[in-house]
Every structure is written in C-alpha cells, then in structure tokens.
Amino acid sequence: MRQWTWGILMLALGVPVTAAWAVKKDEKLYVKARNTRVLKSAAPTADVVAVLQPGQQVTWKGADPKNAQWHQVTEPGGKPGYVFQTNLSTKPPDMELVAKDGKTRTIDPAAFVSSGAAVKALSPGAEKYGNAKGGGYSNAVSQIKTLEALAKRVTPVEIDAHVKQAGLFPVVAPNTKLGAQAKKVSK
C-alpha cells in the first residue's frame, strides 16, 4: 500500500519508478531548477554551453558511462552537452504565474523567470489584517517583511557558494553566464 502511494507520488514528481517508465533515448525531459547549466563535459567545472530555466526541455541521450550522475542531452538550441542528474525531470514544474483570472497559460519558461512574474512577497491584505489585529501581530508583520527582504538577498550566487563549500550537488547555478566558469568560490 505504501509503495503504491510512493509510486503515484514519484510519478507525479517526474521521478521514474519502474523500468516500464524508465527514460528512453531521445525522450524530452524537463529542467526543474533555476539556472540549470548545460556543460561541455561531464564535470561541474566544465565550460557552460547553455543555461536553462525550470520548464525548458532537453533531449535525453543517456547517462555518461564514466560518471552516471551526469547525463548527455541536447539543449533547446540544438547544442549537445551534459546536465547533472537531479536537474532533470519527466514532469514540468509549476511556474506560479500571477494571472488575475487564475487560468493556466502556455508561457516561455526562460522569459517567465527573467520577467519577475513569479509570486510577490507579503500580500497587502495580509499586512492590513495583521496591523488591524495590533499588538504582537503588528510586530509580526514588520518581522515578516524584514525576513522576506533577508530571504530575497539569498540569491543563486550565495546558494552556489554554499553548495560548493558543503560538497553538495551542483543543481542551482549562480548565474546565466556562458563559457568558462570562475575558478574559485568567492565566500
């Protein structure tokens, strides 16, 4: 029963769970993380061929025989390269488009991310609600606003530096620059 529940969840998340759903060569896969890098070779320090955004698709060619955590793909522009395993998904991510009518729209993922159309911070109604309640609630409004400003300063640059220092997987890249990568982490 529990395995059945996982299976449904994993499929919903785009993680293949059995051989029947296993990814096949030339299948289209979605990129799931912000600033996903397509690299020239199967190494985290290799030159950057392209930088993709959540929802963009690549064509899967297979896992690298020497390091199965890197997967050979063709990016949307047709250039070949390598993407880290956990950047790829069989399902598209939610893009949280702010649409007044609440309807889903087909959008260009890269344009969406750069447009800043994602969800904004503390809603005006919530702020009004908290301030109207007064006391500790007004203080909480002010603290949440401070916290949101602090969170916003934690960009992919800071995340990338931390990931390198902690030895974690290179999933969220610091920027959208192409070509050779900076040699040292500035932290």
The residues in 125-154 that bind another protein, with binding defined as CB under 8 A, are 125-130, 132-133, 136-137, 139-141, 143-144, 146-148, 150-154
CB of 40 to another protein, least distance (A): 20
Among 80, 96, 111, 185, binds another protein (CB under 8 A): 96
Residue 165's CB is within 10 A of a number of other CB atoms, namely 10
DSSP 3-state of 34: coil
**β partners of residue 83:** 71
Which one, 66 or 179, has the nearer CB to another protein? Answer: 66
What lies within 8 Å, CB to CB, of 89 at 6+ separation is 13, 14, 15, 29, 30, 31, 32
Q: Does 38 bind another protein (CB under 8 A)?
A: no
Per rule CB under 8 A, count of chain residues that contact another protein: 84
Q: What's the burial of 9, exposed, middle or buried (CB within 10 Å: 0-12/13-18/19+)?
A: exposed
CB of 127 to another protein, least distance (A): 7
Q: Does 178 bind another protein (CB under 8 A)?
A: no
CB of 178 to another protein, least distance (A): 20
